């Protein structure tokens, strides 16, 4: 999983450069402007990932230091999100017709990106508490409902339908994973769908986007323009692609080539081979993330890893579907790959949380039991090992026989998280 993340991020850096260099050169005279910014954010993001993976979050009735109490952290993250969103509404910077950015010391931040993580952290904690029986059913529903509802409303108000939808889907995934009653799920899904329909009808541009999705060719020069240009980019790529850096569509035909539609540029430059590879890597990431979740030590970890992975996976799917004309355009970046500092940093932070879950799993009784199994050779899965995963060289020290285990079909990073790996 970690490899797929690093691969995607590095790849994203290359693609951001490729997709943005033309416009940067034309507008700013510096073709590497976005590359440099994205690289800085990538470093920040990797640090965030490292930090998040070290967080020892757990749900406990015993009193814990605040930074380790999942509920406290969830509330804190949620509170920060709401504060950020309110700040955006009050003093945000408007770009592309939406108020989503907060300028802080010359750096543009998108609190709505942070809000996604905040919601997942909070809801995972609340649901875990509910599962433990520490929170009544209706209490949980009410808390989850109003707290995510507030964030959702604030984000919608920016307006940022795409992020709002991914928050909703992320929370919904958490509800599913937490084995909430099927009827309730259906109700939530139904209400969400209804709200979505209403939101589409309220704003003309959403309606336009929907119509453009249904038939982009009816107005290929205006409303259907993005989809059509995106399809042309994919088509131009064919099977083998036109070659890295040689996209033609990025020459101002395809808007948002380095952000929302970067996948189209991938398709054009690297062809079907490249675009399928990206899909495959994302699938690998999602599988890895869920393996961590399934093999995790606590209910909270299980929800956290599943929710975070689901959130990122859903965003990737929404973005890819929009770019390929399978869904209306929503303006969600492709995780790891698209340009966007807040998004990249937060996504990597999320990955860090999942890595943290994996780390805790290593120390959990099941994992310990697995390690003690006599037929197994001594593993390198020492407690600190998960953190070392971020250092690439460490992976090579894994004994050769480990690779033949039942987790061998998985990316290396996931093997230790594989619940059955040790039980074979």
Partner 1 sequence: MRAKRGRVRRSGRHAFVLAALLVAFAGVAVRLVQIQAVEGRAYAAMAKEQRDLELELPAQRGSIYDREGKPLAVTTAAKTVYAVPREVADKAGTARALAETLGGSEEKYRTRLERKSNFVYLARRVPLEQAQALENLALKGIYFQDDTRRVYPGSSLACQLLGFVGVDGEGLSGVEKQYDELLAGKPGKLICEKGLSGVPIPGGVTFREEPTDGQNVVLTIDADVQYQAQVALAETVERWKAKSGSVVVMDARTGAILALASVPDFDPNRYWEADPQALRCRPITDRYEPGSTVKAVTAAATIEKGLAKPDTVFRLPPTLKIGDRTIHEAHPRGTVDWTLTEIVTNSSNVGAVKLGMLLGPQGMYEYLDKFGLTERSAVDFPGEAMPSVPKPKDWSATSIGNIPFGQGLAVTPLQLARAIAAIGNGGYLVTPHVLQELPDSPTTKLEWPTRRAISEKTAAQMREVLKAVVTEGTGKGAAVQGYTVAGKTGTAQKARTDGVRGYAKGKYVASFSGFLPADDPAVVIVVTVDEPQGAIYGGTVAAPAFSRIGAFCMAHLGIPPRMPTVGEATSSNESSATTATASSQDTGR
By the criterion CB under 8 A, which residues form the site for partner 1?
A: 22, 26, 173, 176-179, 231-239, 248-249, 251-253, 267, 271-272, 275-276, 279-280, 282-283, 286-287, 290, 293-294, 302, 306, 310, 313-314, 317, 320-321, 324-326
Beta-carbon count within 10 A of 68 CB: 14
Residue 42 contacts residue 13 (beta carbons within 8 Å): yes
CB of 234 to partner 1, least distance (A): 5
- Measure the CA–CA gap between 321 and 13, rounded to whole angstroms: 21
User: What are the backbone dihedrals phi and psi of residue 143, each rounded to the nearest 5 degrees, phi first?
Assistant: -65, -50
Number of residues that this document lists for the chain = 424
- 22 neighbors 251 (Cβ within 8 angstroms): yes
Name the nearest CA neighbour of 75 among 111, 118, 137: 118
By beta-carbon proximity to partner 1, the closer residue of 83 and 246 is 246
To the nearest whole angstrom, how small is the minimum distance from the Cβ of residue 1 to partner 1? 13
Select 88 or 287, whichever has its Cβ closest to partner 1: 287
Least distance in angstroms from the C-beta of 105 to partner 1: 28
Q: Is 377 left (phi over 0), alpha (psi -120 to 50) or beta?
A: beta
- Of the pair 231, 413, the CB lying nearest partner 1 is at 231
Residue 22 or 151 with smaller CB distance to partner 1:
22
CB closer to partner 1 out of 84 and 306: 306
- Phi and psi at 107, nearest 5°, equal -110, 130
- DSSP letter string, 288-325: HHHHHHHT-SSHHHHHHHHHHHHHHHHHHHHHHHHHTT
Of 307, 295, 232, the closest CA to residue 268 belongs to: 232
Nearer to partner 1, 82 or 232 (CB): 232
Closest separation in Å from C-beta 369 to partner 1:
12
Task: Give the DSSP per-residue string, 234-290.
Answer: HHHHTTT-S-TT--STTTTTSTTTTTTTHHHHHHHHHHHHHHHHHHHHHHHHHHHHH
The nearest distance, CB 279 to partner 1, in angstroms, is: 5
The CB-of-175 to partner 1 minimum distance in angstroms stands at 10
Edge-first strand order for the sheet with 93-95 is: 93-95, 98-104, 107-109
What is the C-alpha separation between 314 and 214, in angstroms, rounded? 21
Nearer to partner 1, 31 or 387 (CB): 31
CB of 380 to partner 1, least distance (A): 25
Rounded least distance, CB 218 to partner 1, Å: 15
In this complex, which beta carbon is closest to partner 1, that of residue 75 or of residue 225? 225
Query: Looking at beta carbons only, is 100 or 131 nearer to partner 1?
Result: 131
Rounded to a whole number of angstroms, the minimum distance from the CB of residue 227 to partner 1 is 11
Closer CB to partner 1, 146 or 251, in the complex: 251
Q: Which residues pair with 101 in a beta bridge?
A: 93
Could you tell me the smallest distance in angstroms from the CB atom of residue 310 to partner 1? 6
Residue pointed to by tokens 């299980």: 302
d(CA 349, CA 47): 8
């Amino acid at each position: 999983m970690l490899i797929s993340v690093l691969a995607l991020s590095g790849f994203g850096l290359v693609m951001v450069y490729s997709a943005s260099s033309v416009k940067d050169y034309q507008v700013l005279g510096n073709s590497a402007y976005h590359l440099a910014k994205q690289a800085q954010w990538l470093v920040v993001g990797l640090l965030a990932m490292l930090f998040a993976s070290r967080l020892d979050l757990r749900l406990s009735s015993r009193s814990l230091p605040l930074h380790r109490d999942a509920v406290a952290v969830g509330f804190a993250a949620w509170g920060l999100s709401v504060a950020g969103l309110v700040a955006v509404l009050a003093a945000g910077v408007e770009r592309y017709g939406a108020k989503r950015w907060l300028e802080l010391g010359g750096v543009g931040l998108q609190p709505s990106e942070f809000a996604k993580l905040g919601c997942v952290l909070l809801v995972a904690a609340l649901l875990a508490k509910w599962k433990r029986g520490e929170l009544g059913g209706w209490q949980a529903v009410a808390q989850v409902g109003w707290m995510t509802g507030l964030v959702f409303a604030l984000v919608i108000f920016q307006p940022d339908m795409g992020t709002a939808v991914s928050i909703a889907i992320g929370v919904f995934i958490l509800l599913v994973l937490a084995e909430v009653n099927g009827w309730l799920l259906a109700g939530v899904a139904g209400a969400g769908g209804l709200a979505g329909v209403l939101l589409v009808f309220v704003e003309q541009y959403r309606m336009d986007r929907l119509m453009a999705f249904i038939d982009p060719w009816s107005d290929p020069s205006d409303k259907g323009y993005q989809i059509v240009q995106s399809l042309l980019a994919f088509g131009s790529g064919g099977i083998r692609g036109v070659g890295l850096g040689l996209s033609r569509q990025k020459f101002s035909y395809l808007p948002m080539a380095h952000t929302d539609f970067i996948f189209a540029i991938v398709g054009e430059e690297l062809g079907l081979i490249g675009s399928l590879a990206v899909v495959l890597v994302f699938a690998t990431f999602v599988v890895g993330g869920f393996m961590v979740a399934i093999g995790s030590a606590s209910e909270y970890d299980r929800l956290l890893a599943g929710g975070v992975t689901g959130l990122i996976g859903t965003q990737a799917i929404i973005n890819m579907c929009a770019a390929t004309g399978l869904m209306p355009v929503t303006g969600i970046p492709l995780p790891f790959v698209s340009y966007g500092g807040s998004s990249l940093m937060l996504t990597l932070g999320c990955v860090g949380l999942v890595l943290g879950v994996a780390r805790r799993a290593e120390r959990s009784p099941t994992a310990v039991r697995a390690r003690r199994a006599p037929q197994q050779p001594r593993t390198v899965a020492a407690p600190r090992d998960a953190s070392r995963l971020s250092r690439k060289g460490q992976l090579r020290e894994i004994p050769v026989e480990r690779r033949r285990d039942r987790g061998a079909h998985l990316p290396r990073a996931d093997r230790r998280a594989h619940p059955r790996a040790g039980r074979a």
